[in-house]
Amino acid sequence: EAGVTQFPSHSVIEKGQTVTLRCDPISGHDNLYWYRRVMGKEIKFLLHFVKESKQDESGMPNNRFLAERTGGTYSTLKVQPAELEDSGVYFCASSSQGGSNEQFFGPGTRLTVL
């Protein structure tokens, strides 16, 4: 069974540009989470989808970030326009139905904003 995949693995963009990160969860997992680790600090929760619906987006830093999960399958996280402080590693995780189940993480996307 394929794990959680993320694309791209690395992205380098200039301040003011737009970047879209993609996450493909494990097939059949209804729960999808986005997290971010900035500059070696703690990994912080961004938002949580259940199927195509946003269950909790309390961690989204501001309205420059837009997450979607069309059809309840893969998810995208768009940053527009990117700022320097958006640099970090963005992780995606998925879990099966039932809130207590283990979250499986992808390898992350390293975003560098210059």
Q: Smallest gap, in angstroms, from Cβ of residue 81 to another protein?
A: 27
Distance (Å, whole) CA 18 – CA 114 = 12
Residues 6 or more apart whose CB falls under 8 angstroms from that of 85 comprise 38, 113
Part in contact with another protein (CB under 8 A); list of ranges 20-28, 60-68, 70-78, 106-114: 106-114
Q: How many residues bind another protein (CB under 8 A)?
A: 28
Q: Which is nearer to another protein, 61 or 81 (CB)?
A: 61
Using CB under 8 A as the binding rule, whether residue 88 contacts another protein is answered as no
β-strand pairing of 19-24 with 43-50: unpaired
Using CB under 8 A as the binding rule, whether residue 76 contacts another protein is answered as no
Dump the DSSP string for 14-63: -TT--EEEEEE--TT--EEEEEEE-TTS-EEEEEEEETTEEEE-TT--ST
Q: How many CB atoms lie within 10 A of CB 88?
A: 21
Which of the residues 8 through 67 are near another protein (CB under 8 A)? 31, 33, 35, 37, 40-45, 48, 50, 55-56
Q: Smallest gap, in angstroms, from Cβ of residue 13 to another protein?
A: 22
- Interface residue list for another protein (CB under 8 A): 3-4, 31, 33, 35, 37, 40-45, 48, 50, 55-56, 91, 93, 95, 99-103, 105-108
